């Protein structure tokens, strides 16, 4: 899912007292949450177009619940079918790695440690992990203090979880009804969806360079490799550039 | 492997990754290099998916209605048009070109 909406959300005012900071956090969360949840419609429609049934589509939104991986899984299955299953799983999993980083950042904010045992509730942590995504993390990090951050994290996460699953179902039913997806341009819609996820990540020159190189590698690899594999091969670009920290300069504008 | 197997394995993997962040003490991924690679990995995978989704047709590279649709989408994102609107317009552009062609 994308963080642009989170970056655009108004920053909470300072010095207005805790109640005001909390209500600002709630307002930020609902704005980002509702805007994000709406595009579950496009996921639902694209998943059905890729050959998933309505149950499978809804299962992904309930359990996987991380937009980038969901779009990637159905994108690879759309191009390579079940034969590309290994690549589809690997791509979805690698896109999920950033959630590990988000979880580490959110853990101290959401942990409600019991004063007697000194341990947090396991169920609370599992629930927090479940709704750890781009948007809940971004809204939490945009708040001025830990209390507001906790409110932002939970309200954003839960709003998107409920909304995303409802719109996924709606999208899947629509996708099921329209039949010929190419005639409706759903293949182009999938490309535009990936671009929307990528767009807010292109602020640094290094990211732009990686994006262009990865796109070129994937295109060149398409005729020679099985569907699904070109995307995985392109991931090597990120490892090489990231390891040696190549192209590390801020974009001029 | 059936579609259900793929979905179950992939969902288990992504959910496990989320749990790792919350249950395992911070460490490895907080260091600069792994954090940078994790970040760029997302960029590279999304860019590669765009390329394949826009130009791929099985194992062939094809330039068709998806290309102008993606260019329109890029222009709209640059103008900060909301995601869902851009995705719908991209579909319309491709569908329109195919209907006329």
* Tens-place pLDDT, residues A164-173: 999 999 999 9
Give the three-class secondary structure for B2.
coil
State the pLDDT at residue A6.
Answer: 43
Which residues of chain A are within 8 Å of residue B47 when distances are taken between CB atoms? 198, 210-212, 214-215, 218, 234
pTM of structure: 0.85
State the pLDDT at residue A121.
Answer: 83
Q: With pLDDT > 70 as the criterion, what percentage of chain A qualifies?
A: 89
CA distance A196 to A206: 18
Tell me: pLDDT of A114 over 80: no
Query: What pLDDT band is residue A247 in, cutting at 50, 70 and 90?
Result: very high
Tell me how close the Cα of A63 comes to any Cα of chain B, in angstroms. 6
CB of B101 less than 8 A from some CB of A:
no
CA distance A231 to B50: 10
Tell me how close the Cα of A193 comes to any Cα of chain B, in angstroms. 6
Give the three-class secondary structure for B57.
strand
Q: Give the chain A residue nearest B101 (alpha carbons).
A: A183
Tell me how close the Cα of B67 comes to any Cα of chain A, in angstroms. 8
Q: What averages of pLDDT result for each successive group of 10 residues across chain B (101 residues)?
A: 96 96 76 88 94 93 97 97 93 96 83
Q: Flag whether the ipTM exceeds 0.85.
A: yes
- Determine which of A121-125, A136-140, A219-223, B1-5 has the lowest per-residue pLDDT on average: A121-125
Query: What pLDDT band is residue A232 in, cutting at 50, 70 and 90?
Result: very high
Which residues of chain A are within 8 Å of residue B99 when distances are taken between CB atoms? 183
Which residues of chain A are within 8 Å of residue B61 when distances are taken between CB atoms? 219, 222-223
Query: What pLDDT band is residue A180 in, cutting at 50, 70 and 90?
Result: confident
Which residues of chain A are within 8 Å of residue B2 when distances are taken between CB atoms? 82
Tell me how close the Cα of B14 comes to any Cα of chain A, in angstroms. 5
Query: What pLDDT band is residue A93 in, cutting at 50, 70 and 90?
Result: very high
Q: Which of A104-118, A187-201, B5-19 has the highest mean pLDDT?
A: B5-19
Please list the residues that pair with B56 across neighbouring strands: B61
Instruction: Answer yes or no: do B17 and A106 touch at CB < 8 A.
Output: no
Instruction: Answer yes or no: do B48 and A234 touch at CB < 8 A.
Output: yes
Q: Pick from A102, A192, A239: which is nearest to B87 by CB?
A: A192
What average pLDDT score do residues A56-80 get? 96
Tell me: pLDDT of A10 over 60: no
The residue among A138, A140, A185 with the most chain B CBs within 10 A of its CB, best to mutate, is A185
Which residues of chain A are within 8 Å of residue B82 when distances are taken between CB atoms? 35
Tell me: pLDDT of A70 over 70: yes
Tell me: pLDDT of A224 over 50: yes
Beta-carbon contacts below 8 Å between A and B: 318
What average pLDDT score do residues A159-168 get? 96
Task: State the average pLDDT for chain A.
Answer: 88
Return the ∠ at Cα A1 (arms to A228 and A234), rounded to 5°.
30
CA distance A128 to A102: 11
């Amino acid at each position: 899912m994308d963080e642009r909406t989170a970056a655009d959300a108004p920053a909470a005012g300072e010095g207005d007292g805790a109640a005001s900071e909390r209500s600002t956090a709630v307002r930020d969360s609902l704005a980002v949450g509702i805007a994000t949840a709406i595009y579950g419609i496009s996921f639902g429609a694209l998943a059905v177009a890729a050959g998933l049934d309505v149950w499978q589509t809804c299962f992904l939104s309930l359990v996987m619940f991380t937009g980038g991986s969901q779009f990637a899984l159905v994108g690879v299955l759309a191009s390579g079918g079940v034969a590309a299953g290994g690549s589809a799983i690997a791509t979805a999993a690698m896109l999920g790695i950033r959630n590990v980083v988000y979880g580490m950042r959110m853990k101290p904010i959401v942990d409600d440690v019991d004063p007697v045992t000194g341990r947090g509730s396991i169920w609370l942590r599992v629930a927090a992990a479940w709704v750890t995504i781009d948007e809940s993390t971004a809204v939490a990090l945009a708040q001025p203090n830990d209390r507001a951050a906790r409110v932002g994290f939970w309200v954003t996460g839960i709003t998107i979880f409920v909304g995303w699953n409802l719109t996924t179902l709606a999208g899947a039913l629509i996708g099921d009804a329209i039949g010929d997806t190419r005639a409706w341009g759903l293949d182009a819609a999938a490309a535009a969806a990936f671009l929307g996820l990528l767009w807010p990540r292109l602020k640094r020159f290094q990211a732009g360079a990686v994006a262009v190189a990865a796109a070129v590698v994937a295109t060149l690899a398409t005729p020679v490799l099985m569907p699904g594999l070109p995307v995985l091969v392109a991931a090597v670009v990120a490892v090489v550039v990231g390891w040696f920290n190549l192209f590390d300069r801020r974009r001029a504008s | 492997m059936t579609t259900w197997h793929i979905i179950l394995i992939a969902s288990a993997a992504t959910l496990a990754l989320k749990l790792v962040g919350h249950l395992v003490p911070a460490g490895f991924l907080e260091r600069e290099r792994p954090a940078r690679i994790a970040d760029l990995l997302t960029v590279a995978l999304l860019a590669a998916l765009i390329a394949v989704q826009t130009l791929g047709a099985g194992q062939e590279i094809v330039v068709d209605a998806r290309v102008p649709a993606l260019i329109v989408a890029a222009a709209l994102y640059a103008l900060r048009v909301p995601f869902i609107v851009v995705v719908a317009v991209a579909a319309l552009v491709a569908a329109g070109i195919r209907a006329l062609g």
